[in-house]
Structure 1
Amino acid sequence: MKKIILTVAAVFAFGFANAQEEAKGEGFSKGDVFISGSVGVNSAKQGDVKENGFDISPKAAYFVTNNIAIGAKIGYETLKKENEVATTLDQNTFKVGVFGRYYTTPATKFSLFGELGAEYWMGKDKLTDTKVNTFDIGFRPGLSYFVSNNFALEATFGNLSYNSAKADVDGAEAKNTFDLNLNLSSIKFGVVYKF
């Protein structure tokens, strides 16, 4: 009986040690660099107005501490609104920005994070040929899950933002907006590669 118990204990100890060894390298630590990209698709209907959008946003970041990463991002977004009579908005937007992330448990397989970012958007409405310049500051919560030592899946949900948009026409005034978005169209999924 003693031999069986010792054998079972040895198997569990070896399995635990092996699992710990395999888990090494997952998560983030100071000095890590990652590239990621997220894709968002939304479709909504309110009354007779339909809205469809798509955005893609690649980014890269460097961990300055075990919990904090800073980085840069670019992006492209399309948005189209139409009702039963006509298309009311058909806009393409290019974005550039910087961001910082705080990870709650960066050295583990699963971690929650908060991302604070600032972006400059250059958009154009194809219907009116009007250019719009926007400055945006926003906070977005998210989660990251490592599927291997170098690859992770991430998702963000919702955002809290302030932006100031101004059309590039004579006499245009800036439109300032404060927004809290918690609907399902704000979910974005992405893939992360850690160097």
Structure 2
Amino acid sequence: MFHTNFKIKQNMKKIILTVAAVFVLSFANAQDKKDSNGGQTSKGKWLIEANTGNAMLGNTGFYFASSDGESAYNLGLDGGYFIMDDLAIKAGLGYGGDSATSTSAFSYRLGAKYYVKSMIPVTVDLTGASGDAVENVAGETPMWLGLGAGYAWFVSNNISIEPGLRYNLSLNDKFTDKGILQFNIGFALHF
């Protein structure tokens, strides 16, 4: 059992390092790249996005689940500003609750999003949550390092649909020592 958990953790570290390397290399080459998507990710532009969320961690996305008359939800948005072509600094807020336990949680996110070749978003961010919904779980609040990548499908000059994968590495092992892999679909406005 210990050997299996150790091997899983080693594989996750390799994945995290690979995503981080792609992000760093993409950032280093950003100065030489021409914007080929019509300017949606150009320096000085703004980004507002809504993502599907995951109930297992504090999030700034949209989530709803209902079972046996009880429901859980989350509402949130992320926003960003492109400080250079294809690189946005982002922040997000979310609020959610659970009718079964009458608890609620406030979530936040800070990070960066880089569009490789103006169409492959790579993200690195810090996500956390506070409130009675998360503190009741373990007496601690969660903190996650999120690494993700996807594809930006620009359906118009100002709108993109961005499916992607995201791995959330727990930074508070008293809350949980498990990482979470999730599939998200993001909807972004660029202006």
Of 137, 140, 151 in structure 1, the residue corresponding to residue 145 of structure 2 is 137
1:5 matched residue in structure 2:
none
1:28 matched residue in structure 2:
41
Structure 2 residue runs of 5 or longer lacking an equivalent are 1-35, 54-62, 66-70
When Rg is computed on C-alpha atoms for both structures, the one with the higher figure is 1
2:177 matched residue in structure 1:
177
1:11 matched residue in structure 2:
none
Q: Compute the displacement of 1:67 (Å).
A: 2.4
Q: Compute the displacement of 1:101 (Å).
A: 0.9
Could you tell me whether the CA contact under 8 Å between 2:144 and 2:168 is conserved in 1?
no
Output the aligned Cα RMSD.
3.4
Distance in 1 of aligned mates of 2:37 and 2:137 = 53
Distance in 1 of aligned mates of 2:164 and 2:64 = 14
Total equivalences in the alignment: 144
TM-score (normalised: structure 1): 0.59
Q: Compute the displacement of 1:42 (Å).
A: 7.7
Distance in 2 of aligned mates of 1:92 and 1:189 = 24
Could you tell me whether the CA contact under 8 Å between 2:141 and 2:175 is conserved in 1?
no
Of 104, 114, 123 in structure 2, the residue corresponding to residue 102 of structure 1 is 114
Structure 1 residue runs of 5 or longer lacking an equivalent are 1-22, 44-51, 81-86, 166-173
Distance in 2 of aligned mates of 1:188 and 1:55 = 14
1:118 matched residue in structure 2:
126
1:74 matched residue in structure 2:
93
Distance in 2 of aligned mates of 1:141 and 1:59 = 16
Cα deviation digits, residues 123-172 of structure 1 (max 9, x gap): 3239x69864222221122221111111111223231412316xxxxxxx
**Helix, strand or coil at the partner of 1:187:** strand
Structure-2 change in CA distance of 1:94 and 1:120 (3 Å)? same
Counterpart AA for 1:189: I
Counterpart AA for 1:97: R
Cα deviation digits, residues 39-72 of structure 1 (max 9, x gap): 23487xxxxxxxx864433011111121211111
Of 82, 105, 110 in structure 2, the residue corresponding to residue 93 of structure 1 is 105
Structure-2 change in CA distance of 1:57 and 1:105 (3 Å)? farther
Counterpart AA for 2:75: I
Is 1:64 matched with 2:83?
A: yes
Structure number having the greater helix percentage: 2
Could you tell me whether the CA contact under 8 Å between 1:39 and 1:57 is conserved in 2?
no
Structure-2 change in CA distance of 1:129 and 1:117 (3 Å)? closer
**Helix, strand or coil at the partner of 1:164:** coil
Q: Compute the displacement of 1:90 (Å).
A: 7.0
Distance in 2 of aligned mates of 1:160 and 1:33 = 25
Counterpart AA for 1:152: S
TM-score (normalised: structure 2): 0.60
